Amino acid sequence: MELVKLSDYLWEIPKTGAMLVPGRVYASAKMIDDMREDPALTQVANVACLPGIVGYSLAMPDIHWGYGFPIGGVAAVDGDEGVISPGGVGYDINCGVRLARTHLPFSFVESRIDRLADALFAKIPAGIGSSGAIPGLSIDQLKEVVSEGAQWALRNGYATKRDLEHTEEGGRLAGADPDRVSERAYQRGAKQLGTLGSGNHFLELGRVDEIYDSRLADALGLEVGHVTVMIHSGSRGLGHQTCDDYLKVVGSAMARYEIALPDRQLAAVPISSPEGRAYLGAMAAAANFAWCNRQVMMHLAEQALLETLAIAPRELSFALVYDVCHNIAKFEEHSVAGHRRRVCVHRKGATRAFGPGHPALPEALRPLGQPVLIPGDMGRYSFVLVGRETAMRETFGSSCHGAGRLMSRMKAKKEAGGRDLNAELKRRGVTVRAHSRAGIAEEMPYAYKDVADVVEVMEAAGITRRVARLKPFAVIKG
Amino acid sequence: MSDKTTTTQSADAPLFREFEHTGDRGIELTAPTRVELFRRAVVALASLLVEVAGAAATEQRLIVVEAENDADLMHDLLTELLQIFMVEGFIWCDASVEEADRALRVTVHGEPFDPTRHAFHGEIKAVTYHQLTVEKSPDGWRARIILDV
């Protein structure tokens, strides 16, 4: 794969063959060396073939091999003439991250970490073979959830108005069409509202261990030493099945629109086609399920903290910092070659990172730029960033979404061998509760890149600014 | 490319080989016949979800899938089984497969999933179409499947 260096942190894949635009990869020289043999770069070039794509097929520094799109890929297509690709959103529609802060100093909980981990593990189900805090919902109830998103949680006592203000899109993506979600998808979601899932999903207790910008940290309520709660999860089986349903619909409709793409998993149809509109309605519905899911889990986590520590809500002072999604397609206005255009931005393992002053941000956060939450591996640290103006000019207001895997799951398990992984993490100051050993083995710190390197590239490229670093001390895995 | 082989209670030969995929899980299967390939894929899926050695064949479920090609048959069959595991909470330890033109009749033998007896390995979100192949090889049949986890 030919790569042209544009700066220390930006590389271009020249337009060749069926590519409609060049590819651009944000990465350090070392990262580029590591990824030269990875199929992810070919996937960046494949995405550049999507009809209607504008600007560049973009890759963030946490890019790795996905299915169809690379994980860490961003593609904006013309909002009217372009195509929508379910694979460009992924199976876990609106997989995302939320962060809550408390006013509890770490010293207050230090002697009770095991009890806290047990309480969270008991309160927040993984979703398979466990009964959720919310009993199985009927299809009619699920239709309310997918129409209302986090507003359903507010209406049912799992959220505050402030929570919704601090959630991307207010926790409800417009255009959701509950009738476009299949019965099979509803069946898979029926018992999964308020459940974490497995794989790389987690709930993590951490503490703020470094502040990079005190003005921004103050504005977000982050103080050194204070306890935080981070949740990474998505739309669960309802979203997975929705993606699968529409890959089939879109895949068989493509020929009618004379669309041919290098990878079947990239299947796409015109946004304006009946199939495209149906997918967008179903995708928004699944996205709303995900926001409601994360909101319910955060409420359960707050309850677990209050009960275990036997303190009053005022002492805990639990508040959502922000909630971001990193698997989505959204209609936004961006400047393309000097002209404002309505585009549909696919973010597959990439986070929206709007700069200061953007009208989509709530009033309280608008002067700061959008908070961007970047979890690292469970042994190191995670970052809170904010979006900058450069992101609006260069990446359709997008940034990275995590550390990015260094090792396959298979290699990570092999590496784990007969090791006592819980003890190893404990030595790093992290208490883990998980439903399976494999769940820990595949997610061990050595399986991931150092998220600090990923974040540094985004900062050096002017896309995001670091606000704070969080260090985990208890992790719940599905 | 390194590999790992897995066997189950009901198969003496290695059931599948896992291949490197950065974020997800890739498996490669071979079998002397087309029917045996699908059977192995069905049992392989169960062994990726849970420790099947602890499962008993006390109940069965019948799945009938029809598709235009073998790759789609594989996708639809395994997706149907994921639904049975996720929604019905049923796990299988063996399967029998019959073929008829473009359709497959698959009976899976197992029991209700019980996390205290069937160690859970982690969710599988979906069977992807990415590089999905089912083909005849010089030695029999071969499939390559990437699962989103």
- Tell me which amino acid residue A110 is: E
Whether B28 shows a pLDDT value over 60: the answer reads yes
Residues A101-127: b if buried by 16+ CB within 10 A, e if exposed: bbebebebbeeebeebbbbbbebbbbb
DSSP string, A160-178: -HHHHHTBGGGG--TT--G
Reading the block at residue A378, the tokens are 């469970």
Q: Is the pLDDT of residue A183 over 70?
A: yes
The beta-strand segments (E) located in A40-146 are 53-64, 71-78, 83-84, 96-105
Is the pTM here over 0.80, yes or no?
yes
pLDDT per residue as tens digits for the range A131-170: 667 888 999 999 999 999 999 999 999 999 999 999 999 9
DSSP B93-128: EEEEEEEETTEEEEEEEEEE--TTTS-B-----EE-
Structure tokens at A159: 């959220």
ipTM of the complex: 0.90
Q: Is the pLDDT of residue B1 over 70?
A: no
Using a CB-CB distance cutoff of 8 angstroms, which residues of chain B are in contact with residue A412? none
Give the chain B residue whose CA is nearest to the CA of A406. B22
Element (H, E) at A233: strand A226-233
Residue with tokens 């591996």: A377
In A162-193, which positions are buried (b, 16+ CB within 10 angstroms) versus exposed (e)? Answer: ebbebbbbbbbbeebbbebbbebbbbbbbbbb
Q: How many CB atoms lie within 10 A of CB B35?
A: 16
Give the residue carrying structure tokens 């974040």: A455
Overall average pLDDT of the A290-295 stretch? 98
In chain A, which residues have their Cβ closer than 8 Å to the Cβ of B2? 410-411, 414
Task: Using the predicted structure, report yes or no on whether residue B10 has a pLDDT greater than 50.
Answer: no
Closest listed residue to residue A173, CA positions, set A155, A150, A141: A150
Residue pair A378/A119 in contact (Cβ under 8 Å)? The answer is: no
From chain A, pick out residues whose CB is under 8 angstroms from the CB of B148.
67, 90-92, 240
Q: State which H helix or E strand residue A132 sits in.
A: none
| B102 lies within 8 A of chain A by CB | no
Pinpoint the alpha helices (H) of A210-273: 214-220, 236-253
Q: Give which of A374, A400, A11 is closest to A204, Cα–Cα.
A: A374
Contact A410 B20 (CB under 8 A): yes
Number of C-beta neighbours around residue A463 at 10 A: 30
**pLDDT at residue A154, as a whole number:** 98
Query: B53 at the A interface (CB within 8 A)?
Result: no
Q: What is the pLDDT of residues A186-202, one digit of tens each?
A: 999 999 999 999 889 99
Q: Which residues of chain B are within 8 Å of residue A411 when distances are taken between CB atoms? A: 2, 20
Dist. CA B41–CA B73, nearest whole Å: 11
pLDDT at B6: 40
With beta carbons less than 8 A apart as the criterion, state whether A32 and A63 touch.
no
Is B120–A405 a contact, with Cβ atoms under 8 angstroms apart?
A: no
A201 assigned to active site: no
CB contact under 8 A, B23 and A265: no
Q: Which of A65, A130, A251 sits opposite B23 (nearest CB)?
A: A65
E strand residue ranges, A326-446: 327-336, 339-348, 351-352, 371-374, 382-387, 398-399, 431-434
State the pLDDT at residue B15: 86
CA–CA gap between residue A301 and residue A114 (Å, rounded): 15
When scoring B79, B86, B147 by the number of chain A Cβ atoms within 10 A, the one with the most, hence best to mutate, is: B86
Size of interface A-B (CB pairs under 8 A): 110
Angle CA A247–A250–A254, to nearest 5: 135
**The pLDDT of residue A347 is above 60:** yes
What residue in B sits closest to A267 (Cα-Cα)? B129
At A48, phi and psi to the nearest 5? -65, -10
Count other Cβ atoms within 10 Å, centred on residue A131.
10
Could you say which of A334, A358, A401, A435 is catalytic?
A401
Structure tokens at A344: 């549909």
Q: pLDDT of B35-70, one tens digit each? A: 999 999 999 999 999 999 889 999 999 999 999 999
State the smallest CA–CA distance between residue B72 and chain A in angstroms: 10
Half-sphere exposure of B54 (CA within 13 A, CB side): 12
Beta bridge partners of residue B108, listed in sequence order: B61, B95
Name the residue among B20, B79, B132 with its Cβ closest to that of A244: B79
Q: What pLDDT was estimated at residue A130?
A: 62
Please tell me the predicted confidence (pLDDT) of residue A188: 94
Q: Distance between CA B57 and CA B111 in Å, rounded?
A: 6
Residue of B nearest to A439 (CA): B122
Model confidence over A28-71: pLDDT tens digits?
999 999 888 889 999 999 999 999 999 999 999 999 988 899 99
Q: Is B66 on the interface with A (CB under 8 A)?
A: no
| Band (B8; pLDDT cuts 50, 70, 90) | very low
d(CA A173, CA A285): 8
The pLDDT-based confidence of A356 (bands split at 50, 70, 90) is: very high
CA distance A222 to chain B (A): 32
* Chain B residues inside the 8 Å CB shell of A240: 125-126, 148
Do A409 and B4 lie within an 8 Å CB cutoff?
no
CA A401 and chain centroid, separation: 6
The pLDDT > 70 percentage for chain A reads: 99
Q: Which helix (H) or strand (E) holds A139?
A: helix A139-148
Pairing assessment for the beta strands A4-7 and A269-270 based on DSSP bridges: unpaired
Interchain CB distance below 8 Å, B115 and A411: no
Give A247's contacts in chain B (Cβ within 8 Å): 129
Contact A27, A63 (CB under 8 A): yes
Looking up tokens 């070919």, which residue turns up?
A42
Q: Which residues of A touch B123 (CB under 8 A)?
A: 127-128, 197-199, 478
Confidence of residue A366 (pLDDT cuts 50, 70, 90): very high
